[in-house]
Homo-oligomer: A and B are copies of this chain.
């Protein structure tokens, strides 16, 4: 369980109920969420607030975008590095930790014409989950 208030204070953000609540949601839910998900679970909070809060959090690297090819942007905490497998049929999402990107970054940069630095990456796998295969 993360300490929402401390996270906010550490980033010199004002401590407000909406921000606390969104951070706690991420911590409890443990899955990438989009704005709609969050707004619903925040029964009452405006979508606009959610958009703005996520933007703020993203700039401060508290959360990050994930592309799960579901049409809208998903967010998750940046607390531990991991990636996802997504079922292209039912949308089920599973995490995995194994990541080989850092190992290839150097050789990619060596070959690159225009880039000298890489700060982030996305790596998502897509397949069909066991439940959907059976149908």
Residues of A within 8 A of B (CB): 65, 67, 69, 85, 87-88, 92, 94, 96, 98, 100-101, 103-105, 107-108, 111-131, 133
Contacts and interface: CB of A to CB of B under 8 A. Distances in A.
A16 to B, nearest CB: 27
A96 B111 contact: yes
A120 to B, nearest CB: 4
Contacts of A65: 69
Given A100-B103, A108-B96, A120 B114 contact: no
A62 to B, nearest CB: 17
Contact of A127 (B87, B117, B127): B117
A85 to B, nearest CB: 5
Contacts of A126: 118-122
- The complex is assembled from copies of this chain, and their number is 2
B118 A125 contact: yes
A117 to B, nearest CB: 5
Nearest to A66: B67
A88 B115 CA distance: 11
A128 B65 CA distance: 18
18 contacts: A69-B122, A85-B108, A94-B112, A94-B113, A96-B112, A98-B108, A100-B100, A100-B101, A101-B123, A101-B125, A108-B125, A114-B130, A115-B128, A116-B130, A118-B125, A121-B123, A121-B124, A122-B126
